[in-house]
Amino acid sequence: MSHDFTFDIKSVRFDEHYRPAENTRTTTNFANLARGEQREENLRNTLTMIDNRFNALAHWDNPRADRYAVELDIITGELSVGAEDEDDTFPAIEMLKTTIIDKHADKRIPGMVGNNFSSYVRDYDFSVWLSEHNRDRSEFGIPEGFGDLHGKLFKLFVDSDAYRASFSKPPVICLSVSSSKVYCQTDNRHPVLGVEYANDESSLTDFYFGKMGLQVRYFMPPHAVAPLAFYFSGDLLSDYTDLELISAISTMETFQKIYRPEIYNANSVAGKIYQPSLEHQDYSLTRIVYDREERSQLAVEQGKFTERHFIKPYRHVLEQWSADYSL
């Protein structure tokens, strides 16, 4: 029986009225905010933070800091595992697409695609496979082939006809820096991305995203307090406009202030030699409600969901496809 892996793209507006679909990962940044009694207030405050940060960075020809607004859409890459007698789909990848609203010029400008990134398979890899591999081990280790399937699925998605028909540029994914690594400030400065940091030792996330064909650079934007990790293919500084870069910074810095305030809403700025810490106590909280402990528990549940509904039922098919698909 032959199988053909194809992607279809679904898009849902992320605004104050957003309600997560049943198949949306509940640990996803945007889905986690849209829960509970304060969901609409959470969402409004988050979107306001994004707009304010965007206008602060895009300050030219913007004296009142109100020229721009950012519109967000949740992009889901639904994977079809097609066969002669079946056609099952799985929500393999979710990202955010930004659209920049220029209120002065009355036009819509495509922003960055990528930003937040989530994946059920990544939940399985980290919360189930990696955890089981290291159970009862005296030293932490990475299982053979870790990240290979996920990396190949991501590359298939970006190279798919569906992605190319919808987006003109590869995605840029923006994440927190690792609390287990030390980052050193360099002499490189970018007018939008800010001061660049570097580290001598890759993190597990760097390794995992490398399997997706992405490299990483670390920048602390103007008036930020900690660097962000930007994962990309191509040339981050040349392939994207200033407004595209600002759309990524304003969106993901806002999420990080909510989810990791110890790092991104700290009351002191990262020094020339910097190690992030979630134990840091000198920070401010946003007005946005979020349960980080619950989010960690859900990651395990969703990893097991992926194992039951995707990894185990299609194990043979996935292994055969992965062996034939070249990284």
State how far the alpha carbon of 306 is from the alpha carbons of 24, 26, 129, 302, in Å. 12, 13, 11, 6
- Tokens 């003109």 belong to 168
Query: Which H/E stretch holds residue 94?
Result: strand 86-102
Rounded to 5 degrees, φ, ψ at 326 are -85, 130
Q: What is the pLDDT of residue 233?
A: 96
Q: Where along the chain do its domains lie?
A: 5-324
Find out whether 55 and 64 touch, Cβ atoms under 8 Å.
Answer: no
CA distance 296 to 191: 36
Q: What is the pLDDT of residue 22?
A: 60
| Mean pLDDT split into 10-residue runs, the chain, 327 residues | 76 86 54 69 92 98 98 93 64 94 98 93 94 92 95 95 96 94 97 96 93 97 98 97 98 94 96 94 86 69 89 90 78
CA distance 231 to 212: 10
Q: What is the pLDDT of residue 111?
A: 97
Residue 173 CA neighbour count, 13 Å, CB half: 24
Q: What is the pLDDT of residue 204?
A: 93
Structure tokens at 252: 């993901």
Give, in degrees to the nearest 5, the angle at Cα 40 between 35 and 42. 75
Q: What is the pLDDT of residue 292?
A: 65
